[in-house]
Amino acid sequence: MEEKDMVNDILENSSNFLKEYEACIVETKNMELRQLLQNLRNNYESFQYEIEKLAESKGYSVSEETATKDEINKVRNEFSE
């Protein structure tokens, strides 16, 4: 597996993990557990951000701020199929 594929895989999985953390946080009534989950989520968000910056620096992904219209349309088409 190439580095680009590994980085993109990590980014995709981290998005899924963050969604799971959010779902657990919303359902948790115990404040101590809720705070623990929120702290874990925050740390994981920081990790994801660092990986995203790595991906951008290596040209593996394009920030929405710098994406061209063609790149935006390509992504739009991928999700609308």
- Mean pLDDT to the nearest integer, 31-57: 94
Whether 80 has a pLDDT exceeding 90, the answer reads: no
> Do residues 48 and 18 lie in contact, with contact meaning Cβ atoms separated by under 8 Å?
yes
Whether 49 has a pLDDT exceeding 70, the answer reads: yes
What is residue 22's predicted lDDT score, i.e. its pLDDT?
A: 94
What is residue 81's predicted lDDT score, i.e. its pLDDT?
A: 64
What is residue 37's predicted lDDT score, i.e. its pLDDT?
A: 96
What is the three-state SS of 11-65?
A: HHHHHHHHHHHHHHHHHCCCHHHHHHHHHHHHHHHHHHHHHHHHHHHCCCCCCCC
Least confident range from 8-17, 23-32, 54-63: namely 54-63
- Mean pLDDT to the nearest integer, 11-28: 92
